[in-house]
Structure 1
Amino acid sequence: MAVAELGVVVLDCPDPRALAGFYAEVLGGSVEGEGDWVDLRLPGGQMLAFQAAPGFVPPKWPAPDHSQQFHLDLNVGDLDAAEKSVLELGAKPLDVEDRSRGFRVYADPAGHPFCLCAA
């Protein structure tokens, strides 16, 4: 029997509304809230939240002395089309050199690593 149920994944960032907007464009859903806490309600009922973090320092990838701490794996049907879209939305490539793998690594506009994964 589980002790708890996952409520929401929360990403620290300098601008919660802007980062929620980025992920809304990538994943769909609706952005709710203003200020220091903003929610993104995703299709299917999942939710991501974004919290203002004064002095936010983005993780570095890959860097064993500056752990990424966590990352999101986002499943896509077409890696090339998804890559084009996330780059247009402001993502930055971190590791996309090896095109033979089934995933590519990016940073969102606040610097959090995420992967586009072939579904």
Structure 2
Amino acid sequence: MTDAAETAPTATLKMTTLDAGDVGAEATFWAGLLGWEVAHQQEEYAMLTGPSGAPALGIGLVADHRPPSWPDVGGRKQFHLDLACEDIAATEEHALGLGATLADPQPGETWRVLVSPAGHPFCLTDAANW
């Protein structure tokens, strides 16, 4: 490592914020799927706290929100979340019950791709692989 890299300022990722057309629906979905608390919610914004009690996921209102595509069409998918779970099938069923939809196509046998109510794709993966 160079001296410049050693003295360069760094940033710490504290929270990821997802855009949504309906903040309440998206916050309720992620809180239910992750088992996290909704610490703050208003029409324009919601914040969920993670297991440590620190802010971990934000939901921000974008009135003309256009969800990302799956698979990526036209460069609209910027990122997606990978969620480790003990039982992929049971977690998929739970997510569908909370309002997720199953993405089409599916990329393989070891991952399940779903889409949140606001259209954000996410993957369910086997926790043992992490």
TM-score by length of 2: 0.82
- Distance change (3 Å), C-alpha of 1:104 and 1:96: farther
CA distance in 1, matches of 2:72, 2:50: 31
- Tell me which residue corresponds to 1:16: 23
Q: Which runs of 5+ in 1 are unaligned?
A: none
**What percentage of aligned pairs have identical amino acids?**
37
Map 1:18-33 onto structure 2 (within 5 A). Answer: 18-31=25-38, 32-33=40-41
Map 1:82-93 onto structure 2 (within 5 A). Answer: 82-93=91-102
Structure 2 residue 121 is matched with structure 1 residue 113: yes
TM-score by length of 1: 0.89
User: Larger Rg: 1 or 2?
Assistant: 2
Q: Is the contact between residue 112 and residue 123 of structure 2 (CA under 8 Å) also seen in structure 1?
A: yes
- Tell me which residue corresponds to 1:59: 68
CA distance in 2, matches of 1:87, 1:114: 12
Q: Is the contact between residue 71 and residue 105 of structure 2 (CA under 8 Å) also seen in structure 1?
A: no
Q: What is the number of residues matched between the two proteins? A: 118
Measured on the aligned residues, the alpha-carbon RMSD in Å equals 1.8
Aligned AA for 1:8? M
Deviations 1:70-111 (CA, angstroms, capped at 9, x unpaired)? 11111100111111111111101014756x622110100010
Deviations 1:4-56 (CA, angstroms, capped at 9, x unpaired)? 01121000001112201100000012112212111011213451000000110
CA distance in 2, matches of 1:95, 1:116: 14
Structure 2 residue 6 is matched with structure 1 residue 6: no
The structure carrying a bigger helix percent of its residues is: 2
Q: Is the contact between residue 73 and residue 116 of structure 1 (CA under 8 Å) also seen in structure 2?
A: yes
CA distance in 2, matches of 1:68, 1:21: 22
- Which of 70, 74, 84 in structure 2 is aligned with 1:75? 84
Map 1:96-111 onto structure 2 (within 5 A). Answer: 97=106, 101-111=109-119
CA distance in 1, matches of 2:72, 2:12: 31
